[in-house]
Amino acid sequence: MADIAVAITPFVAGTISADVITAAADIESVVATNTAVIAAAGDSSDLVISVYAASAATVTFDAGDNPPSMVSGIGAGSAQAIGAGDVALITVPGGQFVQSNGTVRLTVAANTCIIGAFRMAREQ
């Protein structure tokens, strides 16, 4: 098992791109049994995680350990099944999945996934 760092790409307001999910600069291929690590800086409130699977795949968000969150002990998220050729866009509650070092971790259980992390644009 290896940790694969996935950088966060900011969404730019007013920009349209049909290929952002599979061709953005900071997306990463993560093979089965490896873990995508997103440096969320402890804040997942405006974070969108994309998971694309060419072949059917499963990913699980690792349980957070970020104290003093009252829900960090709930445990890992339910396994997310992604169909072949599908993409899942996921937001996660920080209180359950943010690690004490500020990261969000998701483990790929079956087949390679292309994983990206994006910050929503904030209105000025």
Any domain includes 124 = no
Query: How far, in Å, CA of 20 to CA of 73, rounded?
Result: 34
44-82 confidence digits (pLDDT tens) = 888 889 999 989 999 998 888 876 666 666 767 777 899
Provide the domain limits for residue 21: 3-119
Count other C-beta atoms under 10 Å from residue 41's C-beta: 12
Any domain includes 33 = yes
Any domain includes 73 = yes
Compute the mean pLDDT over every residue in the chain, rounded to the nearest whole number: 82
Task: State the pTM of this model.
Answer: 0.83
Q: How many structural domains comprise the chain?
A: 1
For residues 65 and 99, the answer to whether their CB atoms sit within 8 Å is yes
Count other C-beta atoms under 10 Å from residue 97's C-beta: 26
Any domain includes 43 = yes
Any domain includes 35 = yes
Any domain includes 18 = yes
